[in-house]
Structure 1
Amino acid sequence: MLTLSLPRTLISAAVASAFAFVAVNASADLSARYVDNDGDMVADAPTDESQWVDPSTLIFAYTPVEDPAVYADVWSDFLSYMEETTGKRVQFFPVQSNAAQLEALRAGRLHVAGFNTGSTPIAVNCGGFRPFAMMAADDGSFGYEMEIITYPGSGIESVEDVEGRQMAFTAETSNSGFRAPSALLRSEYGLEAGEDFETAFSGSHDNSILGVVNKDYEAAAIANSVAERMIARGVVNEGDYEVIYTSETFPTTAYGVAHNLNPELAEKIQDAFFSYDWEGSPLQAEFANSGEAQFIPITYQENWSVVRTIAEANGVTYDCD
């Protein structure tokens, strides 16, 4: 796991104060297409069995990355195991953007997925996503940090130096790639994106990191777990960029299912996640690079409370209908 020599910086009291105005357990804002009778902030499975979906082929999509083909191989063994567990064929769907993944879920073309941290609330509220798992280390610890990076010699040595310069975000739905850094820059440093510094949207953390390394972007907000995996694969090197800010820890990609899957099938899918043996697997080879070694149970209501708070601090609403 990558160890950086720069001091770790937590989101400041100023940012925490800004977030305090927003209730931590914000009310669910589900689309009118769904109901939440049990109050867990996610869509309930339909009570009418005729509305259950029981496809012969399950479609799985992992959160968008620079090269989806790499992750098709990473997930191949796990998806074969899911086939054994469910008795269904499972197909990897290489999505190119957060919007494409969300639209596929909402349109009923996606059954099992891993949504990135910031997209999970949109998937829950607008797509009926029911998250139940997240990757974690052997000891159960989990999470990643948002980092602001620049390239050596850029002249940007602190967050204040971003003023008047260019900074890349990933996508407006991303927690670490847009929402958290936007709240930080606005609340602590008085810097407004598009006004006090030029912005660009790269589409993914991989693209942002490579853009900084190649000097296409002067700075970027990224998830450090992605950078750690890229360094482990030799895509970039530790000295290719410098970290000028590190945030508090956030939850990672949420794994779950469409709300209207046959409940027995949804249970088998969940069993596949929690019974899969990581030892010697492609998942272990890839995600050990960011300290992850297993799937653990989560709830959207508890584990995504800080993400919802950041979203509301940024004025995010979910007008899905």
Structure 2
Amino acid sequence: MENESEIMTPDAAEIRNRIYTIRGKQVMLDSDLAELYGYEVKNLNRQVKRNIRRFPKDFMFQLTRDEMEILRCQNVTANVKSRTLPYAFTEQGIYMLATVLRGELAEQQSIFIMRAFREMRHFIANNAELFDRISKVELKQLEYQKHTDERFDQIFEYIGSHKETNQKLFFDGQIYDAFSLLIELIQKAEQDIILIDGYVDVSTLNLLAKKQSGVSVSIYTFQKTKLTAQDIVVFNAQYPQLDVKYSNAFHDRFLILDGKTVYHIGASLKDAGKKSFAVMLMKNAAEEMLEKLKSV
């Protein structure tokens, strides 16, 4: 962290004003994220470039000059004063950025940001009745002029006063919600975690790193996994003990906690929230699953 004394305390409305729609995606600019995390923009982007394989095009992209000019015209608060074309981070990219920057503060700031993204999705998905009261023209104004429209804040106050649904079914784009539930499940384990997932990578380990201290992890995955031996060594150096085994015996993904509780997960953990999927508790399945693993 560069200058912790200058880190801003996130305000929900302020963060929402820094979320823009570019190329049909809700994104935040590198300059705004750098300010939130207490970094200089160049140093934040340097960290990203050092870990560029973690930031595919659907996680991060650089604006064109036309996009930057449109953003300046439509958003008077947009922080795009630099001559260098800024980078835009999607919700997935912001989550990955927190893992790159690391530290308790980066995680804390990311939580505020992800909540702002989640509120915007819930505005659309969970408050359909409000759409009947607002014309299409007004909705467009809410999207492009939210920094001056008081009704936007009133809508979010309404959302904030209503209890959220504890969803087990996730739709395309619900990255934060999906990761939040998976982390919650992982943190329930007190002794050991077994993950059966054919496609694991470093993103999977970032989730498993949220486990309680002393909890061991066993992963059953395909031989052609993107997880390298070095990734396993690095993980074990900080979050022991991880054991990776290779098997083609399973098609679906399963999470087994303390040898007692089994969850069926409809997508690889690294892809949670990218497409619609479900997480389902499987009752009385642990004994049968563990017996099958003995033969793997």
Question: Would the TM-score normalized by the shorter structure come out above 0.5?
Answer: no
- TM-score bracket for this pair, using the shorter chain length: under 0.3
Higher relative contact order (CA 8 A, sep 6+): 1
Normalising by the residue count of structure 1, what TM-score does the alignment of the two structures yield?
Answer: 0.26
| Between structures 1 and 2, the one with greater helix share | 2
Normalising by the residue count of structure 2, what TM-score does the alignment of the two structures yield?
Answer: 0.27
